[in-house]
A and B are shown apart, each in its own frame.
Chain A
Amino acid sequence: MNKSKQFKALVQAIFAAMVVGGLASTLYSAEPTSATPPAKVDSASSQTNFVEMNAGSSDTNRVVVKSQLTGAELYSIHCNRCHAERYPTERTAAQWKTIMLHMQVRANIPVSQARLILQYLQENSGR
Chain B
Amino acid sequence: MKSRRLMSGLAAVGCAVGVALPTRVAAAVSDADFKALKDLVQQMNGKLQSLEQTNELDQQTIQQLQKQLGETQQTAADAEQKSIAAAQAQTQPLPRVPIDEATVNHNFQILGDAEFQYVKATGQNGSFLLADFAPIFLYRGGDNILFEAGFDTTIANNAPTSSGYTTTFNLSFAQLDYVMNDYMTLCAGELLIPLGTYTERGAGWLNKFPDDPLAVDLVPGSGVGVELRGAVPLGNAGKFINYSVYAVNGPSSADGTGNADALDLGGNVGARSDGVVANLHGNPAGGARLGFFVPFKPHCDLELGISGQSGEWDNGGTHLWSAGVFDAALHLGPNFEAKGEYIISRYGSDDLGQINQEGWFMQAGYKLAGLNLELPIINDMEIVGRYDSLHDGLGTRTQRYTAGYIYYITNTLLFEGDYEFLHSTDPTQVNQLILQLSYGF
B412:A77 contact, CB within 8 angstroms: no
Main secondary structure, interface of A, reads helix
Knowing A15-B387, A108-B231, the reply to whether A113 touches B411 (Cβ < 8 A) is no
Contact surface of A with B, Cβ cutoff 8 Å: 4, 7-8, 11-12, 14-15, 18-19, 21-23, 25-27, 29-31, 66-69, 73-74, 76-77, 80-87, 92-95, 97-99, 101-102, 104-113, 127
A81 CB contacts on chain B under 8 angstroms: 201, 301, 303, 329, 331
Q: Does B244 contact A (CB under 8 A)?
A: yes
- The 0/1 profile, CB within 8 Å of A marked 1, for residues 88-126 of chain B is 000000001101000110011101000000000000000
Q: Which residues of B contact A15 (CB under 8 A)?
A: 364, 385, 387, 401, 403
Q: Which residue of A lies closest to B363 (CB)?
A: A15
Is A19 in contact with B206, judged by CB distance below 8 angstroms?
A: no
| Chain A proximity mask over B247-271: 1 for CB below 8 Å, otherwise 0 | 0000000000000000000000000
Question: B185 at the A/B interface (Cβ < 8 Å)?
Answer: yes
Please determine whether A77 and B233 come into contact, CB atoms closer than 8 angstroms: no
- Given contacts A18-B383, A83-B205, A107-B201, A94 and B103 within 8 Å (CB-CB): yes
Q: Which of B54-62, B290-298, B389-397 contacts A (4 or more CB under 8 A)?
A: B290-298
Report 21 cross-chain contacts, Cβ distance below 8 Å, ordered by A residue: A7-B421, A14-B385, A22-B336, A26-B336, A30-B333, A68-B236, A77-B238, A77-B301, A86-B411, A92-B99, A94-B104, A94-B107, A95-B109, A97-B104, A97-B140, A98-B109, A101-B179, A102-B111, A102-B136, A105-B146, A112-B182
Which residue in B103, B109, B179, B423 is a CB contact (below 8 Å) of A111?
A: B179
Given contacts A26-B333, A83-B440, contact A14 B403 (CB under 8 A): yes
CB of A22 within 8 A of CB of B104, answer no
Max count, chain A CB within 10 A of own CB: residue among B107, B177, B202, B300: B107
B242 at the interface (CB under 8 A from A): yes
Chain B interface residue count, Cβ-Cβ cutoff 8 angstroms: 71
B366 at the interface (CB under 8 A from A): yes
Interface residues of B in 167-201 (CB under 8 A from A): 177, 179, 181-183, 185, 187, 192, 200-201
CB distance from B239 to the nearest CB of A (A): 10
Cα A93 to Cα B96 with chains together (Å)? 11
Task: Chain A residues near B97: list those with CB within 8 A.
Answer: 127
CA distance A66 to B298 in the complex (A): 14
CB under 8 Å from chain A, chain B span 323-367: 329, 331-336, 338, 364-366
Taking a contact as CB atoms closer than 8 A, the residue among B231, B295, B335, B411 that contacts A22 in the complex is: B335
User: In the complex, A101 Cα to B334 Cα: how many Å?
Assistant: 25
Give the CA-CA distance A98 to B303 in the complex, in Å. 25
B151 contacts the other chain (Cβ, under 8 Å)? Answer: no
User: Is the beta-carbon distance between A26 and B332 smaller than 8 angstroms?
Assistant: yes
The answer to whether B303 touches A84, judged by C-beta atoms less than 8 angstroms apart, is no
* Residues from chain B with Cβ under 8 Å of A99 in the complex: 109, 111, 138
